[in-house]
Amino acid sequence: MNSESNHDRLIDDATRWAVLLRSGQATDADRLAYQQWRSQDPRHELLCSQLENRLGVFQVPIAQGISGELLQRALSAPSSRRKVLQRALLGAGVILGGGALVSQRDGPLAELTADVRTGTGQRQTLMLADGSELRLNAQSAANIDFDQQRRALRLLEGEVLLSLASDRDRPFFIHTRQARVRAYGQRLLVREREGLGHVAALSGTLEIDGLNGEHLLLQAGHEVAFGAFGFGPVSLSRGSTTAWVDGLLELRDTPLSEVVEALRPYRRGVLRLDPAISGLRVSGLFRLDNPEQILDTLARTLPIRVSRRTDLWVTLSAA
């Protein structure tokens, strides 16, 4: 069986498990078998996390009125009947055809085969061939491309902190789905998750080009958010931006929505947030490696309720 067929089978298996668990028909034996399958291979773990946390594969069909039972039947049906599921999954940027999810450019398959990647709750530090230091936050993936003319890193998903070695003959570029960053300084942070990006110039200037032709010169000590809409307002960099390097979540009057986004790469399963409480403000210093404890602390200090349907499905709502 070739590599492409293996990828197809892997994604198909992960999709079938996820649909079964969301259908309301899964038994305790099914859930145990799923956990065993998920822990058998790091690729299983990574893909399941992507399906649950990032792609929104199952929220989209359900929002369109397609039940979990129908999703199961569609996955087992001939290709002509799978068009029902395919139309629903298009809303999440994913196509199901011939029994397998087909990723778009820089999608899940690219992350599975990335040069460097981290799993749920995992951080990694490594030295690049030019002497630069690369730190990856949890659930991050990147490809590295160095030649005689330039140095480039393509961030497929997640967050990286770079401490760049000086090389006057080879500029350093960071590519994301939404932007291209050229670094003139030594330290910078780049994050992009679910199409929303963030860049911080920790030392030295950054030159950022957006997808739609926008251009921004970001001075040292400043940061900016970006996305398909273009660039947001430039602001002073927060000292808490790089706290994750030390395993910390430092919050200073931070919206609860941002707290949830920071926790998702550190826990398995789905973490849902009621929009009605997304604007609540949070301050404090927490250990990222214990996300469940953070959630319980938030429930004690904010007017919110943490509902755990299973260890893999948690919802934050108003108390």
Domains of the chain: 3-111 (no CATH), 116-240 (2.60.120.1440), 247-318 (3.55.50.30)
SS3 91: coil
Q: What is the mean pLDDT of the chain?
A: 80
What pLDDT, in 10s, does the model give residues 29-76? 888 888 888 888 777 876 676 665 544 444 444 444 445 555 555 555
Residue 262: predicted pLDDT: 95
Q: What is the pLDDT of residue 24?
A: 66
The reported pTM is: 0.67
One-letter amino acid for residue 72 of the chain: Q
Q: Side chain identity at 171, as an amino acid letter? A: P
Do residues 54 and 138 make contact, with C-beta atoms less than 8 angstroms apart?
no
What pLDDT, on the 0 to 100 scale, is given for residue 81? Answer: 37
- Cα gap 127→167, rounded to integer Å: 15
Which segments in the chain show pLDDT lower than 70? 1-8, 11-12, 19, 22-24, 46-47, 49-112
* SS3 assignment, position 167: coil
pLDDT at position 21 is 72
